[in-house]
Structure 1
Amino acid sequence: MRASDAERERIAEVLREAVAEGRLDMEEFEERLGAAYAARTHGQLEPLVRDLPVPGSAVPAAPSPGDHTGWRERIGGPPTSKWAVAIMGGFQRKGTWTVPRAFTAFALMGGGEIDLREARFEDRDVVIRCFALMSGVQIIVPPDLETHVGGIGLMGGFDHTGSADGDPAGPRVTVTGLALFGGVGVERKLRKEEHKRLKEERRQVKAERREQLRAERRELRDERRERRDERRLSLEKDRRRDDY
């Protein structure tokens, strides 16, 4: 199972506590910390803290069962705001804001963006009501967030293609409302950290491929050079034999 940033940070916190208590020396700490941030799966994280206690207890650390993406840590807390209005203007809700159980967005001859990729949630079930009158409202969700779209479009568009199942440990978001001479859309995008990680992985793959191609070209040049040298030696031998 793939590890999340939150899980890597939890492992790092266990390691910091262990070095503070003298259970690890600095060399071991730096080695394990580097491995924790480089880990991509639970199987790579678990051995790093298998012989260490959870901070403040005497039992060995263990990965959190059933929540592989850190969603449960993001459910709960007071909401940041319960509504947003844009009249001949625009609004944004993005970053680490807390989504209420019921959020209402109203746009008149304007537009709005509701980004849930880094958001927290007041409750497990969230309803977002969008009213777009000659306006547009865009809702951005991560690929693993369960989303159900059920609004109505009158001479406008209410995009239902954004409905999809998600991580069972995460919240459930229902998008509803009305689009009149306007539009409401739900778009799935990677989180910024995930996008950066994938971009870095692609860069590394491209770099490795370029190096492989260079090595293949060098090998091909060496083979051609060896064949030329062999032909040259063969011609020299033939010429000497003829001279003799």
Structure 2
Amino acid sequence: MSDELVPADPNQMRASDADREQVAQVLHKATAEGRLDIHELDERLAAVYSAKTYGELVPITADLVLSGLPQTPAVPQYQPATNDRIGGTPGSAVSVAFWSGVNRKGGWVVPRMHNAVAIMGGIEIDLTHANFAEAEVTISCFAFWGGIEIRVPDDINVKVDGFGFMGAFEQNLPNRRHVPGAPTVRITGLALMGAVEVKGPKKPKKNVLRELLD
């Protein structure tokens, strides 16, 4: 009998957040192209974010792409915390507004991957007082006849690379500079006949009476 070790089945390898995000992007694109309807997207996204192994992800896009996943699963790259806003127990990985509204603000901990889905509803995500589970996190957005507003403070770094199809995926962050050592938030996804807008922090309300006295 040979002593040679048999390689483990790649399908049994644990799926990373990067693997799940890659599959989610394939589903979003397929929806924009009309190959999936909203109900199918919702069902498949639920399967994506509940998948534990690489093999569970493969069938989800088998009828959509010839090669939906890389041959080798992505390996997470962990970075040491260099900022007091990095760390903590991750909060919810999903925000869903279906004919409703969702508001996330205050001192919550943004997980490595947060999926925001607004279908004929609205989502407001305020990161002003948030912490971040890791040095780089991703917020993946899908807005269908709905809107997602994300407010980001000045002391974090932001990357926006979403796509608008008969909708708008835009940022309003003038004169923004890179902050060394600060957490980075990547905001991506799809606005399908909807809108995703990334803004700076809310300005504090002025005391009208004080202004009059001054």
Percent identity over the alignment is: 44
Note the C-alpha offset of 1:72: 1.5
Q: Which has the higher contact order (CA 8 A, sep 6+)?
A: 2
The residue aligned with 2:129 is 118
The residue aligned with 2:198 is 186
Note the C-alpha offset of 1:109: 0.5
Note the C-alpha offset of 1:110: 0.4
Q: Is residue 137 of structure 1 aligned with residue 148 of structure 2?
A: yes
Q: Is the 8 A contact 2:101 2:123 kept in 1?
A: yes
More helix by share: 1
Paired with 1:144 and 1:120, the residues of 2 have a C-alpha distance of: 12
**1:203-222 CA distance string (max 9 Å, x none):** 59x86xx5xxxxxxxxxxxx
Q: Is the 8 A contact 1:143 1:166 kept in 2?
A: no
Q: Is the 8 A contact 2:104 2:124 kept in 1?
A: yes
Amino acid at match of 2:188: T
User: What is the 5 A alignment of 1:68-147?
Assistant: 72-147=83-158
RMSD over aligned CA atoms reads: 2.4
Give TM-score scaled by structure 2 length. 0.55
The residue aligned with 1:169 is 181
Note the C-alpha offset of 1:77: 1.4
Note the C-alpha offset of 1:190: 5.0
Please, which runs of 5 or more residues in structure 2 have no aligned partner? 1-81
Q: Which has the larger radius of gyration?
A: 1
Runs of 4+ in 1 over 2 A off after TM superposition: 160-167
Q: Provide the secondary structure at the position in 2 that maps to 1:105.
A: strand
Give TM-score scaled by structure 1 length. 0.49
The residue aligned with 1:151 is 162
Q: Is the 8 A contact 2:137 2:184 kept in 1?
A: yes
Amino acid at match of 2:177: D
Q: Is the 8 A contact 2:172 2:200 kept in 1?
A: no
Seen in structure 2, the aligned counterparts of structure 1 residues 190 and 161 have a Cα distance that, compared at 3 Å, is closer
